[in-house]
Amino acid sequence: MNQDVKRRAAEAQLSAMPLPEAEASWAREARAAARTRLLEAGAPVRRDEYWKYTNPDALTQPLAAVAISDDPPALHAGALAGQGALVRFVNGTLREDLSDSLGGPAKAVTTLSQALSQDISIAREIFGALEAAGQEKVDRPLAALNTATATEGLVIQVTGEATPMHAHYQQIGEGSAMVHHLIRVEAGGSFTLIETGVATNTVLEVDIAEGGAFNHIRTQTGDRDAHATHLFARLAEESALKSFTLTADGSLTRNEVVMDLVGDNASGHVAGAILAEGQTHTDNTVFVTHTGVDCESRQVFKNVLGGTAKGIFQGKIYVREGAQKTDGYQISQAVLLNDGAEFSAKPELEIYADDVACSHGSTTGALDPTAMFYLQSRGVTRAEAEAMLIAAFADEAIEEIEDEALADLIRDEVAAWMAKRG
């Protein structure tokens, strides 16, 4: 019964989006497989265990693709403006006329629409494949919806030390804007992707070969409708991933990170700083799978919640049989600035190897009143003392960013949020 409802909702979502046309047969097959995944799983509903803390209704409305806009507003990239080669997505469409050139040393870049109409091997190997693998233990229907219908994104093959790229999303008007990126970091390559702005539904599939490094810095700021993101990553031997997201306010944000440390000695770090006031809802859901031996993973999430803001963290470390010497760590913390704010955390460990070290922790509380008094007793105003303690709290997530200059820009973004808060 419930499954029927879920399936019908998924069908409605699919039929609201136009079917992508003129694609290569492998792409059509990948789309069809994604549609099947979506219909079998059905759209998420509140009763799903994975959506216990976040009502998905705002994310499962059958929205048509938002109309293409000729006249995009000015860039709104905040403190990260000017970082990386800019690629602008307006209503889910890549606007090459408003973007920097897509090339650059040590990487080959094409657009998703081009890649899906041709026979580009990395696209064929990755598109929908990491997303499908990420559904092994838990349904992620919004990601399957994206694979089935998203028409644009970047396809990046990194062959050496590549310069950063910056995807900026904007949406004008009602409707759905989907973006789907594919990234392959070849052996020994390194690459940083910056994402700013917000699209309704983004999927990032990242395949990191031996010794490769992928850094991901993302800000989600400003007024916006409900949106969901997925990062699927596969890490080969001795590769490294670091992903950081700053989320400021937002009616409903669901960020899922799904990574599998497949090769031995890989390292995956996921961090987030959440600053939210008013009626906002921010859900960070992370699923880390340890498959290889001697891998290290780290999840650090710091929530600053005021007003009636809700913060959610669902974090799982799944250690497969044979993934010995796994070092898994997870911490989620929240500072509640007043009584109306709420934080829920669901840490999970599922371990099938016997020689592992996994730990998790979660705390919720107010700003330390003793520290507040100490600062105030030195003449620091209440607002300034709060700002200092909030910045210090959020900094534990920001410190996870590899590039110190980008970390400082994120600190500026945090300061700007607090200044606006007053």
- Site for other proteins, rule CB under 8 A: 368-371, 373-382, 384-385, 388-389, 391-393, 395-396
Q: Which is nearer to other proteins, 105 or 379 (CB)?
A: 379
Residue 203's contacts (CB-CB under 8 Å, 6 or more residues apart) are 131, 143, 146, 147, 150, 178, 179, 180, 181, 229, 230, 232
By beta-carbon proximity to other proteins, the closer residue of 101 and 370 is: 370
Q: Which residues contact 353 (CB under 8 A, 6 or more apart)?
A: 290, 319, 320, 321, 322, 323, 324, 326
E strands, 249-356, where? 253-261, 267-276, 281-290, 296-305, 310-319, 327-336, 342-351
Structure tokens, 163: 């310069």
Cβ 220 to other proteins, closest distance in Å? Answer: 23
Q: How far is the CB of 373 from other proteins (least distance, A)?
A: 5
Element (H, E) at 156: strand 154-158
The 3-state DSSP class for residue 408 equals helix
CA angle 117, 231, 312 (to 5 degrees): 145
Least distance (Å) between residue 33 CB and other proteins: 47
Is the Cβ–Cβ distance between 289 and 260 less than 8 Å? yes
Task: Evaluate the CA torsion angle 223, 60, 150, 271 in order and state its sign.
Answer: positive
If the CB atoms of residues 388 and 407 are measured against other proteins, the closer one turns out to be: 388
Between 85 and 397, CB nearer to other proteins: 397
C-beta of 32 vs 392, nearer to other proteins: 392
The smaller minimum CB distance to other proteins, of residues 123 and 375, is found at: 375
CB of residue 392 to other proteins, shortest distance in Å = 3
